[in-house]
Amino acid sequence: MSESSTDLGPTGAFIEHLGVDLDEVTGDRVRATWTVTPHLHQPHGILHGGVHCSVVETLASVGAATWLGDRGRVVGVSNTTDFYRAVRDGTLTSTATPVHRGRSQQVWLVETVDEQGRTVARGQVRLQNLAG
């Protein structure tokens, strides 16, 4: 599932700024690819950690909202992201999967790998389910 600038679905315009292309969106998995470019770098020429956090939160939120459907909305309440490998350029793939889906909260794990399949970041997001 690719999102165009006219059909941003539940993601908003921020995903466009990040350059994230949603390849798969279900209530059980969200997969996206994105390219590291200089506008996403921190001052030392590597991908800014906040970008990883943003991608993690975005994918977890999209998956959680898809799973919850018309029963309500979700909002992030915690995002813990670890960085394992510095990245200067290239295409990354991030995959979100649920760890827990309950009545009031969900927890999603998001793993990001580089083109060689090496883990570059891993994050976990806890989301609150809000009644419709």
21-50 burial: b if 16+ Cβ within 10 Å, else e:
bbeebeeeebbbebebeeebbeeeebbeee
Give residue 12's pLDDT. Answer: 76
Give residue 17's pLDDT. Answer: 87
Could you list the mean pLDDT of each consecutive 10-residue stretch along the chain, which spans 132 residues? 41 86 96 97 96 97 95 96 97 98 97 98 98 82
Show the tokens assigned to 56.
């993690």
Give residue 2's pLDDT. Answer: 37
All structural domains of the chain, each given as residue ranges with its CATH number in brackets, are: 9-131 (3.10.129.10)
- Decide if 3 is catalytic: no
Give residue 11's pLDDT. Answer: 67
Give residue 10's pLDDT. Answer: 57
- Gap between the Cα atoms of 119 and 10, Å rounded: 27
Q: Which of the following is catalytic: 3, 24, 57, 115?
A: 57
Give residue 15's pLDDT. Answer: 87
Give residue 3's pLDDT. Answer: 37
Q: How far is CA 109 from CA 18, 31, 54, 88, in A?
A: 19, 12, 13, 24
Could you write out the three-class secondary structure of the chain? CCCECCECHHHCCHHHHHCCEEEEECCCCEEEEEEECHHHECCCCCECHHHHHHHHHHHHHHHHHHHHHHHEEEEEEEEEEEECCCCCCEEEEEEEEEEEECCCEEEEEEEEECCCCCEEEEEEEEEEEEEC
